[in-house]
Structure 1
């Protein structure tokens, strides 16, 4: 072969390599082509972003927008303000036949825009939004993809603070439903309809962590609203949160139980230890009141009674009751002392009267010289009834004492009429207060736990 033939084959081989390179790298080698297509479909006088797309098959029906989202995080759920904050990637997809273009044999999959004002956009807004902002670091987190058959995909990352009306009757054994509502602001259902994307419209990031809640499940639904200006399409997502009870068990319920039990220590102190019993009662009462105030400060002032209000109220009543019990014991002890003094005074007077009577009788006997006295025998006969009775009593005392059972031994410690009233009050309080508190716990937990299961 001549050198010219070799040169021809080299040119052909080089051309084949270039064509293969173009086929393997369409995104790199079609940038200029994309620019021409964008100028062709979005050029001045060719596309008007103020006019909504037509309906299905080019009819005048409503434009259908499919919505889906990816829930990235939930930063907080505020009980006092009744709101929660989320960060999500929000997506909308619709068909705009005016944006069709040639995909060059399937090599051009889609066109990408970063300016949302270049094409028509649905006027969607979040109806229960309080605050919100876009993310612009390092570049605005937004893009628009235009597909060859005219489909438009809009994606943006946003952070929202949304209202979440809460029912706190079972707090902190409650479940809350927080919604995210999206609706059209100006286009009625005759022009624009929002639909959830088929399949998996809402996605949640794995290992979603919340400090005091657990996301149990979420539900998608429709919430079209009718106003004086027409009916508007609306979508909503209901997020079901369960409150984590372990935090409240450690921070609220256990300290309150400990304070109530500490207040019972005064029942075991001596009745005369007035400073110790008063200090213990007042300290526990003030601590319990401070605990209750701290709990209420983190919750909104609602008109109904919450489960935590019942708990703190009863615990405060028990602590206050222990303080009142000491006041009753102190009053009863002073009454007992007055009664003892009166009793001793009466005994002393009775002994004085008996002594006076004996002195008068002895004087009378001494003056009576004709009186005769019957001498009692110093030794009684065996058949004497008094001697037999004394012998029987000695035998009883000589017998070993019988061993009492545990129940009888415990029952023997209960207050009797021989005990003072103040002592009886203390002993009865040692038994009554724990029993009543245990009964309250049984009723409280069974009531609110069953109500929680019914509300599921």
Structure 2
């Protein structure tokens, strides 16, 4: 008899803990506990009427009530404050029948105390805590209460199973737009959280972006009397609810994240506000113009539109405050994001005119790498060609080899940059073209000087072989004139080469590097 009583006390304790963990309010626990206690008390009364009371079982009914009931000062005044959670039915069934109490917690899971209830087939239940006394149970329940208070369970959302009765009550059709007035489209507000963005590829003209897209709209059919929102993360439940059909107009490739769980979630407020969030990685196309490369500024955009609904039915709009946010700071290797702009647009198709959102990334290329790898080396190589006018005249081979070597170096240096390939002339092409032109001019100057030197030497030989003084004087005069000419040519080259380079550099910085982005492809 004592064992049977302890087992029933154990059942009540387990039931209270399970319901407590599942999210019931204390009023629900009190009602279910009292129902269980009434069953236990009735069975005990019937048994006591047929069996004599022994000294071992001398505990009075009043004492048992004090052990199994809640503290009257704390719990007897509790009323039901959560109308959403259905109350369990009062049980008046005999103990021989299986009495199952099922409760839905906030995660949509189902808890049952059938396995813990003592029956004829399972007289002891699953857990045996008959050795614990009432003080231990009260201490454990007190600790659980403190944990709940600290964890703020009452602020958590309900689970997805709470939306199912709402859908059933209104005979919800997920293929029907949540339109209240025929002339008012469904306004879907969009917010983007950029998790990662990179790979602004100038060759493929594309970039990669990992974004968390949040959409908000009102669906009056989902309005409910719950005191808290409903959180849904199961795709089987999300598919029962109408959602917009956004697609990324300029995306070449995209995929949703499903590891380790499909990255979708939905939150439904009691007033019918639906917040739908998904994570997607995209590879949008980006048409780039490289007229001013590597001083170019690019614009890459991301366009979002509806694939099936015209703008008279569904209208996309940006979130009112901070529609685009970066989850973490972004550092790009070459093209950095100077600014972002959000616009509303329209996609005009043959069948429908749909609403559209456009996110524009204003990009600016970091030219420091090109200064170190292109501009400074090419300038030094070109200046090395200026050495030719300073070479002594008896080193004729050096005067020829130096400009040719510089020219070949510049050609190889320009060819080594395979970052962009265009059919039009870029700023970098203009720069290397000028450097090669200066090298060619230095080569031509060296050839002209060598030709004059060779002719001057010929005049000297003819002067030595002259038979009369008049011819000898003429040859010497011509020799002096040629000598003065190539000396003057060298002096002019030494002065004009740096001057022309400075003039070109100023022109390049002001007009070429800062010129029109579209100038090279115009008419």
Query: Is residue 309–residue 352 contact of structure 2 (8 Å, CA) maintained in 1?
Result: no
How far did 1:48 drift? Answer: 2.2
Specify the alignment match of 2:427 in structure 1. 307
Report the counterpart of residue 208 of structure 2 in structure 1.
85
Offset at residue 450 of structure 1 (A): 5.2
Deviations 1:147-197 (A, max 9, x none): 222222111222111111222222222211111111111100111111111
Match of 2:174 among 34, 39, 49: 49
Does the CA-based 8 Å contact 1:128-1:180 persist in structure 2? yes
| 1:342 paired residue number | 462
- In structure 1, the residue corresponding to 2:243 is in which secondary structure? coil
Shift of 1:430: 1.3
Match status 1:12 vs 2:70: yes
Give me the whole-angstrom Cα distance separating, in 2, the residues matched to 1:175 and 1:248.
Answer: 15
User: Pairwise CA RMSD of aligned residues?
Assistant: 3.3
Q: Which protein is bigger by CA-based radius of gyration?
A: 1
Aligned residue in 1 for 2:396: 274
Structure 1 residue aligned with 2:382? 260
Moved more, 73-82 or 21-30: 21-30
2:163 to 29, 38, 51: 38
Gaps in structure 2 of 5+ consecutive residues:
1-58, 76-140, 473-479
The change in CA–CA distance for 1:428 and 1:341 in structure 2 (over 3 A counts) is same
Q: Which has the higher relative contact order, 1 or 2, with Cα contacts under 8 A spaced 6 or more apart?
A: 1
Is 1:63 the counterpart of 2:186? The answer is yes
| TM score, norm. by length of structure 1 | 0.75
Q: Which residue of structure 1 lines up, in the alignment, with residue 254 of structure 2?
A: 132
Taking structure 1 as reference, are residues 36 and 84 closer, same or farther at Cα in structure 2, changes over 3 Å only? closer
Which range moved further: 270-279 or 217-226?
A: 270-279
- Once the two structures are superposed, the pairs formed by residues 11-410 of structure 1 within 5 Å of their partners are 11-13=69-71, 16=75, 24=149, 34=159, 36-42=161-167, 46-55=171-180, 61-103=184-226, 106=227, 108-115=228-235, 116-295=238-417, 297-303=418-424, 305-346=425-466, 348-350=467-469
1:242-267: per-residue Cα shift (whole Å, max 9, x none)?
Answer: 11121111111111101111111222
Partner of residue 506, structure 2: 442
TM-score (norm: length of structure 2): 0.66
The alignment covers a number of residue pairs equal to: 382
Q: Deviations over 1:79-128 (max 9, x none)?
A: 2222221111111111122223331xx2x332213314232221111111
Shift of 1:239: 1.0
